[in-house]
Structure 1
Amino acid sequence: MSSIHIPIEILYNILGRLPVKEIIRFRCVCKAWRDLVIDPNFISTHLNLQTYDSDRCLLQYKAGRYGSGKDFFVAFNARNFAEHSNLEVPFSCETSYFKIVGSVNGLLCLSLSFTLFGRTLYLWNPSIWKLKILSGSCFHRQIEKWKTFFVVGFGFHRRTNDYKIVRIMYFTEIGGREPPRAEVFSLARNSWRKVGTNSGFYTRDRSSTVVVNGCVHWFAFRINDVYSKYILAFDFDSEEFREITLPKYHHNGESQFHRHRPAVSVAVLRESLALIVSWYKKHLMGCCNIWVMNEYGVVESWSKQYSIVPNERISRCLGIVNNRDLMLDVSGEKGVISYDLDKQEYNKPLGLDEHLDDLVTFHESLVLYEEGFRLTPRKDLFVEGGIRLGKRKRSVFELLQKKWL
């Protein structure tokens, strides 16, 4: 059947509800359907028509003893926590370690970790096996310095339908400190651009998966006052930095944990900015308080909404999913469990006996379908200095890489 006899609105409504794999198969039906799949409007429609049941959580872990092996993602249903698949990252880098910068609309932003963090960035859509490598910068000389500390955030600008990456560079040289520099990469423009800096703040987190109200957020402190604590936000619309004052959470911990320093992380709860304050005793979580900013940007709207005393051997908090489930890393054989904030009860654990890293939400999409390099699930794929695919395929890849950069 030719698509010319089907109104475009109906075609969007039908195909837009299908899984990504089925949509790609239907590209072979006719030329009109093939062109439809790569249309930006259809890609956006497909994202909007995805149901809540299709949402996944990706839990990153390192295989091997002491987390020394390859990177894997365990995908599980975000609603009932049933394991969906186990996905190996099909490429590697010179550090042999990836860090998740963020996950937006089925697109993962990965970065090198440790000393080379932020020098090379990867946009990867595992649903369609497409990869785009970003190794350029507005600051070519500064980015090569070994004493450069990178901070990266990834987000989506809804008004322009554009995916953006913000990167902040802090420089530490003998005899003084250079002012930080910041730049933004736009996928629509396929280029980096300099933006105003956050010269007064030093971010503690190297990456942030927390995007609220069109802004990405990091836990930070003032450069001239290491004891001060703030949230640093970057607005993907105005491309400006702003500061958000934290609540006085250190006065609200359990008295038996006051002598210990809490672990503080930024999160999202019911589309609001949240703060997870965890108090530890002998490397195990003894108390966890969750603060929520009820009105974005209004400091007075901070309120402590949850106070949890775990009855399990919790080693750390991984984050919040489903706008209600607190994901917890359990010491021992149980792996990961979730705590339902509404029902105040624990759910079925995910049995993972591995070195756990990050947790992000994810759902399938066609984003990046017409860009990037088409991967295949090969264990010897090496993208940092070229890939091991034979001379002919490697030369094609190198030509594409020059075009991207």
Structure 2
Amino acid sequence: MSSIHFPFEILYNILGRLPVKEIIRFRCVCKAWRVLVVDPNFISTHLNLQTDDSDRCLLQYKAGRHGGGKDFFVAFNARNFAEHLNLEVPFSCETNYFKMVGSVNGLLCLSLSFTLFGRTLYLWNPSIWKLKILSGSCFRRQIEKWQTDFAVGFGFHHRTNDYKIVRIMYFTEIGELYVEREPPRVEIFSLARNSWRKVGTNSGSYARDKCSTVVVNGCVHWFAYRTKDASGKFILAFDFDSEEFGEITLPKYHHNGDSQFHGHRPEAFVAVLRESLALIASFYKNRLICYNIWVMREYGMAESWTKQYSIVPKERIFRCLGIVNNRDLMLNAGGEKGVISYDLDKQEYNKPLVFDEDLDELVTFHESLVLYEEGFRLTPRKDLFVEGGIHLGKRKRSVFELLQQKWL
């Protein structure tokens, strides 16, 4: 069947609503369809037409130490949290342990873990078996005179239809935090340009969060401290459009009577709730960790911070895992309780979920065609989300291993 009988608008509307697996199959129909599927405009259209949340899932990262030496993701239905299947990570890294930077439009951004975090980044789209390794830098490798820490931000810039990663390099004395020994260096990677580029820095601050995909109003955000005053806290923002840093004043989120309890201090971290910047702040009540959720109703206006929710659990909570589905606050209760979710709309707890009690990472994922024309094409052994995963061919594996070792 030739596409000449179908206007492109109709093809966009039909093909753009199909699952990724089916679209890949339809590339074989004719040359015109093959060209259409890889067109950047079609890839964007496909993303925009995926309005049905039934295909969206949550991925729980499980490091190799829990899965017989292999890293994999467990997929859960985002609506009912029912367990799907397993997806094995088809590549490895020198630390043998990945840290999840974030998930955006079907792209998973992974990093080396521990002391090597941020040096090498991996963009992986498991839906189409494509992998891109970001092992370069605008800066030469820092001699280990000081400890080098990284903060990474990952997001999608709607105006330019581009995926960007901003990486901040901090130089501190070994064992010391927030003590700036040299101005931080900042670089940004653009997938559209396929390169790193130096940008201006924001000296005098230290992003506490290693990674962030909290993107609101075109900016990615971290919870940050002043380098000369660890008690001076604020939200550090980086604008993907202007490529400049900014600061957002925090609300007065401290709860009356906040104090250290059994060695634990109240914490706070940034999040996104219904496309608004949010702050999840913990406090103690009756020896239990509770949470207040503040929402910035008008972006950039400190006076618009509003405490919208106050959650007092009936049992002990070890840590908050963030917000999914724009309504579910995910809480790790540990032990036999595992992970529970609190429905912010209904203001009630759901039944305990089937997530493993030793939860490493939890991100939202949706299949996409992003990265189709980039990086390595990994060869699938079976369908997506099945035991066994995917692997590299011999020739590609040798090139892949060389790239993993490269650091400019």
The reply to whether TM is greater than 0.5 is yes
- With over 3 angstroms needed to count, the CA separation of the structure-2 counterparts of 1:396 and 1:183, relative to structure 1, is closer
* 1: CA distance, partners of 2:168 / 2:7: 47
User: How far, CA to CA, are the matches of 2:145 and 2:30 in structure 1?
Assistant: 52
Q: Is the 8 A contact 2:238 2:245 kept in 1?
A: yes
Moved more, 141-150 or 118-127: 141-150
Contact in 1 for aligned 2:378/2:392 (Cα 8 Å): no
Indicate the residue corresponding to 1:58 in structure 2.
59
Matching residue within 358, 369, 372 for 1:369:
372
The change in CA–CA distance for 1:25 and 1:155 in structure 2 (over 3 A counts) is: same
Name the residue aligned to 1:133.
Answer: 133
Structure 1: how far apart are the matches of 2:405 and 2:11? 37
CA RMSD in angstroms, aligned pairs only: 2.9
- Is the aligned partner of 1:244 residue 2:245? no
User: What SS does structure 2 have at the residue aligned with 1:355?
Assistant: coil
Alignment of 1:133-212 (within 5 A): 133-142=133-142, 147-173=147-173, 177-212=181-216
> How far apart are residue 356 of structure 1 and its match?
1.1
- Per the normalisation by structure 1, the TM-score is 0.90
| Secondary structure in 1 matching 2:58 | strand
Q: Counterpart in 1 of 2:297?
A: 294
User: Is there any run of 5+ residues in structure 2 with no aligned partner, and where?
Assistant: 382-386
Alignment: residue pair count: 395
Q: Which residue does the alignment assign to 1:351? A: 354
1:260-316 CA-to-partner distances (Å, cap 9, x unmatched) read: 42121111111111111123589x852111111111110011111111111233211
What displacement does 1:9 show?
Answer: 0.5
- What SS does structure 2 have at the residue aligned with 1:99? strand
Per-residue deviation, 1:136 = 0.5
Closer/same/farther in 2, CA of residues 114 and 140 from structure 1, 3 Å limit: same
Range that drifts further, 226-235 or 355-364: 355-364
| Percentage of matched positions with identical amino acids | 79
Change (3 A) 1:316 1:187: same
Task: Indicate yes or no: 2:341 matched with 1:338.
Answer: yes
Aligned mates of 1:269, 1:313 — CA distance in 2: 24
Answer whether contact 1:92 1:381 (CA < 8 A) is retained. Answer: no
Q: 1:205-233 deviations in whole A, cap 9, x for unaligned?
A: 11012111111111101111011111101
- Which residue, out of 193, 207, 220, partners 1:216? 220
Match of 1:14 in 2: 14
Q: CA deviation at 1:113?
A: 1.2
Unaligned runs of 5+ in 1: none
SS of match in other structure, 2:21: helix
Per the TM alignment, residue 329 of structure 1 is displaced from its structure 2 partner at its CA by 1.0
Give the Cα–Cα distance (whole angstroms) in 1 for the partners of residues 322 and 204 of structure 2.
Answer: 28
| Corresponding residue number in structure 2 for 1:39 | 39
The answer as to whether partners of 2:279 and 2:293 remain within 8 angstroms in 1 is yes
TM-score scaled by length of structure 2: 0.89
Task: Judge which range, 368-377 or 292-301, deviates more.
Answer: 368-377
How much has 1:248 moved relative to structure 2? 1.1
Q: Deviations over 1:79-105 (max 9, x none)?
A: 222323322222111111111112111
CA separation of 1:79 and 1:176: change in aligned 2, threshold 3 A: closer
What is the identity, as a one-letter code, of the residue corresponding to 1:6?
F
CA distance in 2, matches of 1:364, 1:380: 19
SS at match of 1:313: coil
